[in-house]
Amino acid sequence: MSREATLKIGDLELGEGLILVPMAGITDLSFRRIARSFGANLVVSEMVSAEGLVRENLSTRYLLQSHPEEKPLTIQLFGAEPEVMAEAARMVADKGADLIDLNMGCPVPKVLRQGAGAILLRDPERVKRLVAAVRGAVEIPVTVKTRSGWDQSHINGLEVGRAAEAAGADAITIHPRTAKQGFSGIADWAFIAKVKQELKIPVIGNGDVTRPEHVEQMRQVSGCDGVMIGRGAMGNPWIFEQAKQLKAGRKPSTPSPQERLEVMNRHLALYEELRQGRPSLTGFRSRLMWYTKRLPGSARLRGELGNCRHLETMIKVCEEFFSTL
């Protein structure tokens, strides 16, 4: 992919191909709107159960909330049965999703027990059936997110990628750790290069992109067509703009304490709007901590926030913290 090229998935042109990673409990609508406003070319929903959608589970349907500011939007589905996945795909397409991503890399035990997520790395034929079922059910692009393999003795992410491509996937994202690794160890970007060399569809890299300079480093090592950013964007949505500035040969801008405070408050307001009167003090506290992590005195601040029992008090504590920076 040349420096001037753009990521294209199906008919969608996605600029520099900087994508917000789907993260359960994190990439809700409020976070996605913030990420898009700071240069993410594409955002992905939290992982959504296909079975829950088809059964019309209210908490599952809650995850489909969207807003024009975040478009284009990918809804990520997980499941094990082709017919159920196809029906869920039709439902999210009807709700206005621009892409559908199939999770075949989540290592969480409760997902694995359902025969979904990373367990599918052990059954490429089922991968093919699942992708084919969804591809036949919708007209919007279908992508797959997976890992390098189940464990170090079964590094078959390339085989899974071939199965997905053969079944009609429009792109694939590779997190080059095994399911057994989870998020431990170091992401093997060279494995992404192996997949890129073999497949014709776009290949997106994911894993250990925590600083803006990592984006171009991953591209150089792997040749990937796009880059997913996850934990590096938590409380740091500026990473998308900064990566683009670096690519353009400019020094990346650094947000001032006041800007951090303003964006944090906007994120909290969007989160409160999303919760629709169902306050979550834990949710608010975690988002406040994202924006203050690694700043001078943040360890002391975390202790103070842990003792707060009201949102107004937490915000006041944070405002006082930022005023001292």
Buried b (16+ CB within 10 A) or exposed e, 171-198: bbbbbbbbbbbeeeeebbbebbbbbbee
pLDDT digits (tens, 9 = 90+) for 181-206: 999 999 999 999 999 999 999 999 99
How large is the average pLDDT for residues 302-319?
A: 89
Domain 8-247, architecture per CATH: Alpha-Beta Barrel (3.20)
Give the lowest-confidence range in 23-37, 89-103, 307-321. Answer: 307-321
Residue 279: is its pLDDT beyond 80?
no
Q: Which of 244, 259, 257 is nearest to 6 (CA)?
A: 244
Taking the C-alpha atoms of residue 2 and residue 172, their distance in angstroms, rounded to an integer, is: 19
Separation in Å, CA 211 to CA 89, 208, 217: 34, 9, 10
Tell me what pLDDT residue 5 has.
Answer: 61
Tell me what pLDDT residue 3 has.
Answer: 46
pLDDT digits (tens, 9 = 90+) for 229-277: 999 999 999 999 999 999 999 999 999 999 999 999 999 999 989 987 6
Compare 30 and 280 and report the one with higher pLDDT: 30
Beta bridge partners of 49: 78
Domains of the chain, by residue range, sit at 8-247, 257-323
Tell me what pLDDT residue 290 has.
Answer: 93
Instruction: Name the catalytic one among 106, 224, 308, 318.
Output: 106
Is 106 among the residues known to form the active site? yes
Beta bridge partners of 101: 76, 143
Residue 216, φ and ψ in degrees, nearest 5: -70, -30
Label residue 2 by pLDDT band (50, 70, 90): very low
pLDDT digits (tens, 9 = 90+) for 6-27: 899 999 999 999 999 999 999 9
Position of tokens 């999303």?
274
Give the lowest-confidence range in 38-52, 150-164, 298-312. Answer: 298-312
The DSSP result for 235-296, as a single string, is T-THHHHHHHHHHTT-PPP---HHHHHHHHHHHHHHHHHHHTT---HHHHHHHHHHHHTTST
Label residue 155 by pLDDT band (50, 70, 90): very high
Separation in Å, CA 26 to CA 132, 148, 283: 29, 24, 9
Q: Which of 172, 94, 93, 91 is nearest to 140 (CA)?
A: 93
Give the lowest-confidence range in 45-54, 56-65, 278-287. Answer: 278-287
How large is the average pLDDT for residues 101-116?
A: 96
Taking the C-alpha atoms of residue 174 and residue 176, their distance in angstroms, rounded to an integer, is: 6
| CA 201 distance to own-chain centroid | 19
Average pLDDT, the chain: 94
